[in-house]
Structure 1
Amino acid sequence: MEKEYLKGLIEEILYVWGEPLDISDLCQIIEKASKKEIIEALNDMSLQREKNESGLLLKKFGNTYQLVSRNKHHKYFEKFVENTPKKLSSSALETLSIIAYKQPITRVEIDKIRGVNSQRSIDNLIEKGLVLENGRLDKIGRPIIYITSDLFLRYFDLEDLSQLPKIENQEEINNEN
């Protein structure tokens, strides 16, 4: 498939879909292009849009891609879009940060770090789609294992977890457990 045609097709698919789309989904939709060709086209599109200061950027969140507006342009949309951001409470943010840095992690481990019961915060984060249940530990009681989701990456504008800010005393934190 011709590269420029492929990029245009991917752009249309992402625009119409609106939500982040996984590479494997793009491969199923565009059967005539290989995964390698699709990834190369996505990378080219991302660089072109950034270089040309296009109004829409192509952002990667984990293994998904989405067309998004530039953060610096959000002030122009506030007039037209009623934006009621759902802010996270300080306890939810604290719980989320523990999960993000220590995942996979159980509620008991989170409670130990925070010093309080975290079930309500975890339930809230799951409801918002920022945290996922990722199986159970093979221990007594079979506790649920929690991890962050791709929505977490989008929410904080991260491509992957390696972009989380570094913690100064990470070794001390790791030695606490």
Structure 2
Amino acid sequence: MPLKMEKFLQIAPHSLAIVLGPAEGPAGERSGAAPPAPPAQPRQLARHHIGYEIFADFKAENMQHFWNKKVTAAVAETFFLGWIDEQVLLIQGKEEHLEALREGWTRRALRPPSGFHIRCLGDVSPISMSPISQSQFIPLGEILCLAISAMNSARKPVTQEALMEHLTTCFPALGRAWLPTRQALLKVTVVRTLP
């Protein structure tokens, strides 16, 4: 009996998007870093960064707000959710922490990661996902190919007897009754090996 799947799953509730752009001028440069990319190639800077590194730098920059404990607590409690299109940082956290970040943004108190400026900050609606259910049927040819591949990786010789033993070991709940006959095994392996 197939498992009952929920119709929709909510992904990424309580999230903010921070749209970043490359910083212009010496204020946005990282200390000791190469000069920023020329204006004709504004996305070049973002290509060399990993989203989590940018998030960590955003946190480090904003953890220095020792005079605003609400912002530092909020930044400490948010976590990295994603990096989209080389310019959008997705973060997630409790609603009270996100509210503190929204407030920091409206008061122009949030600092961008080094080498960037914050273009805008906004709420992300929860993403809905419709799960796709799997069937319980796996084609015999697929099972045999997986088993042979596993045996080859383990450097075990693949004979009909060894293959049947491997199948009963990998699928003990099904018992020996479901195993293919020798004729079916030969037919499937011959068909799979033909060009």
Instruction: Tell me if TM exceeds 0.5.
Output: no
TM-score of the two chains, using structure 2 as the length reference: 0.21
More helix by share: 1
Higher relative contact order (CA 8 A, sep 6+): 2
